[in-house]
Structure 1
Amino acid sequence: MGLINKLFGGSTEPKEEKVLPWIPLNELAQLEIINKKSSTKTQVIFKHSTRCGISRMVMNQFVEAYGLTERDLDLYYLDLLNYREVSNEVGYKFQILHESPQILVIKNGVVVAHASHGTINEVDLNRFV
């Protein structure tokens, strides 16, 4: 197994897991807070399906590429399976058709960028800080 790992880039060292400054989005009242805070600081919602392999893959890529801090923007994580009502309200409040996985970038109460699936990782969040 050691030779195969060396040939194909495997490592015996455990990889340190990157942790993002996620804010759990699990209550409807938070949507009004997000809306208000978006007038002074960019708000980002990442909608994730915990049962979807594509959603997991996109989220892992997003986490790996993420380079901002909680000073730059607020980053919300929405488990849309456990909080379906919140997920539905996100679509109504911000006038965006539901997709999964999905990212919404909110400034001044308006979605200024959104993407789903593989295009999530093409959104340059630095533009909105």
Structure 2
Amino acid sequence: MEKINEIAQFEELVESKEPFFLLKHSTTCPVSAAAFEEYKAFLGEAGTNQKGYYLAVRESRELSNYIAETANIRHESPQVIFFKNGQPEWNESHWKITKDNLASIR
């Protein structure tokens, strides 16, 4: 799991066309903290070779807004977006961010 802060980093990920998950979260919200733990558990599970990235919304507001605009997905926090072939394929927010929900996405 890698933290991103810049629009250029996000653009590089999208342009690679490789599938990846992106978590947008708040470092001050308990719901976001729970989602972050579920996300870490999912990515750390044996046999999971999914690529995962995250950003802290307060630190990277410009990037968070950019992703919402370019993906055409209303911003929420916490929020996970799965990108495949450079396009958003799935997204979920708040308490629906669970290890099991994430594992069901391919």
On whether the aligned pair clears a TM of 0.5, the verdict is yes
Structure 2: distance between partners of 1:108 and 1:118 = 27
Contact 2:25–2:54 under 8 Å retained in 1: yes
What secondary structure does 2:91 align onto?
strand
Aligned residue among 45, 51, 54 for 2:28: 51
Question: Is 1:114 matched with 2:91?
Answer: yes
**Closer, same or farther in 2 for the Cα pair 1:78/1:69, shift >3 Å?**
farther
Superposition deviation, residue 33 in structure 1 = 0.7
CA RMSD of aligned residues (A): 1.9
**Count of aligned pairs:** 104
The one-letter amino acid paired with 2:31 is I
Partner of 2:68: 91
What secondary structure does 1:124 align onto?
helix
Greater relative contact order (CA < 8 Å, ≥ 6 in sequence):
2
Superposition deviation, residue 34 in structure 1 = 1.4
Contact 2:5–2:63 under 8 Å retained in 1: yes
Structure 1: distance between partners of 2:63 and 2:79 = 14
For residues 1-129 of structure 1, what are the structure 2 equivalents within 5 Å? 22-37=1-16, 39=17, 41-66=18-43, 67=45, 72-121=49-98, 122-125=100-103, 127-128=105-106
**Closer, same or farther in 2 for the Cα pair 1:90/1:69, shift >3 Å?**
farther
Unpaired runs of at least 5, structure 1: 1-21
The one-letter amino acid paired with 1:119 is K
Runs of 4+, deviation exceeding 2 Å: 61-66, 122-127
Q: Percent of aligned positions with the same letter in both sequences?
A: 29
Q: TM-score, normalised by structure 1?
A: 0.71
